A and B are shown apart, each in its own frame.
Chain A
Amino acid sequence: ETGVTQTPRHLVMGMTNKKSLKCEQHLGHNAMYWYKQSAKKPLELMFVYSLEERVENNSVPSRFSPECPNSSHLFLHLHTLQPEDSALYLCASSQEALAGEHEQFFGPGTRLTVL
């Protein structure tokens, strides 16, 4: 595997379910990100991790819970979601966190539908 991978690619869940999204980066980067991409809206930054430590939490509801066990893996745990949470969830990584001069590498995303 190369680059940034995400699983699953598609997920349909009910509002009472608990599920997790997984991201893995094979680039040796120190920073990982979760973004939410909704139709006709800009990419919204949700969380940023630098060397497994959360450095940014963008006022995200507590029904989204991130976990970064090591610098290569990032999870997003989901519980009691709302239909408006349906979106494409993108994971990204970069050499350093929140560094305006470092490009971000994105995964293919997980298309989430909440019924």
Chain B
Amino acid sequence: QQPVQSPQAVILREGEDAVINCSSSKALYSVHWYRQKHGEAPVFLMILLKGGEQKGHEKISASFNEKKQQSSLYLTASQLSYSGTYFCGTAKAAGNKLTFGGGTRVLVKP
């Protein structure tokens, strides 16, 4: 069963913050985050493996709440280059395939 992402879309002004959520109805082993710009391949951002783990990629960070079966991606002081569609992918166990959410479209305006 695929994870649910929210919101589906967000529009930001440069410098503003945003949060993207990824929720699962099942317990998770790991959460992956990818960003895809229009006409390009999805690009890996980060993996969270343990409940409570937090990671960062430039000014993009993420957390993984194992109990809530949820991960959040934080876009801080957004830049124009942050525009794109963000996907979370979840795995229920170490040997499981990734199941991707529907994506969150982010548009950062000057």
**What is A's interface to B at a CB cutoff of 8 Å?**
4, 40-43, 45, 48, 56, 90, 98-101, 103-109
Contact = CB atoms under 8 A, between A and B. Distances in A.
B32 A103 contact: yes
Nearest to B42: A106
A74 to B, nearest CB: 15
A42 B98 CA distance: 11
A107 B42 CA distance: 8
17 contacts: A4-B41, A40-B102, A42-B87, A42-B100, A42-B101, A48-B97, A90-B42, A98-B96, A98-B97, A99-B94, A99-B95, A100-B96, A101-B47, A104-B32, A104-B89, A106-B41, A109-B41
Contacts of A106: 34, 41-43
A98 to B, nearest CB: 5
A109 B94 CA distance: 27
Q: Which of A45, A103, A108: most chain B Cβ within 10 A?
A: A103
Contacts of A107: 41
Chain A interface, DSSP helix/strand/loop, else mixed: loop
Given A100-B30, A103-B47, A45 B98 contact: yes
A4 B102 CA distance: 23
Given A42-B2, A42-B103, A43-B87, A104 B98 contact: yes
